[in-house]
Amino acid sequence: MNSSYSFPMLPSQVIITSGQGMGKSPLNAFDSALLDAKVGDLNLLKTSSIVPPGAEVIALREHPEALALPAGSIVPAVYTCFVDDAAGEVISACLAVGLPSCESTGVIFEYCGRGHLSEIRPLVRSMAAEALKSRGKSSFQVLYAESELTVPDRSYGCVVALAILLDPSAGQDNGT
């Protein structure tokens, strides 16, 4: 197994996922949401939001084999989360990957808070669109990872949306 990283790393894959969870503490709710997103046994290294030209975007729910890493692996990730204990409150997390129609630099933007995805998704799309336009890109597609939860009684609720940045050629895929 190649367990060393070489920085700077140029990711060739962006794996998007989301989750929701509940717990008796904010941290337990966050852990539960990460487990639901299928990244609960990874160490997330928060990073900023640039997608390299030509990177493949993979939805983890549709391709669970795309993130077969050993437990404890340290992985760069763009993520957002929101934790709340106000029973009955709707909370949401949304991450948008904006990809220009030409093979060029893409962006990842995220937002979370109280409210429905129907309110938050247009905001995140607009942030990604603005970032792409500032890079001279007016034609693009947007892919989403998103989660919405109604906070239960006597519990914390958490929503997360993530983009994991990988370079399989560096030995990060399938635990090799």
Of 43, 138, 169, 174, which is the active-site residue? 43
Of 18, 32, 49, 92, which is the active-site residue? 49
**Tens-digit pLDDT profile for residues 106-141:** 999 999 999 999 999 999 999 999 999 999 998 999
In a domain, 7, yes or no: no
In a domain, 5, yes or no: no
pLDDT at 1: 41
Q: What average pLDDT does the segment 144-162 reach? A: 97
In a domain, 82, yes or no: yes
Q: Is 110 considered catalytic here? A: yes
In a domain, 6, yes or no: no
Q: Is 138 considered catalytic here? A: no
Of 18, 32, 110, 146, which is the active-site residue? 110
**Tens-digit pLDDT profile for residues 5-42:** 566 789 999 999 999 999 999 999 999 999 999 999 99
In a domain, 4, yes or no: no
In a domain, 8, yes or no: no
What is the domain-level CATH number for residue 73?
A: 3.50.20.10
The total number of structural domains that make up the chain: 1
Q: Is 49 considered catalytic here? A: yes
Quick one: which of 57, 58, 23 has its CA closest to 40? 23
pTM of the full structure: 0.90
Q: Using an 8 Å Cβ cutoff, are 95 and 146 in contact?
A: yes
Write the DSSP symbol of residue 63: -
In a domain, 2, yes or no: no
Q: Is 126 considered catalytic here? A: no
Quick one: which of 111, 109, 54, 114 has its CA closest to 90? 114
pLDDT at 21: 98
Range of the structural domain that residue 47 is part of: 13-175
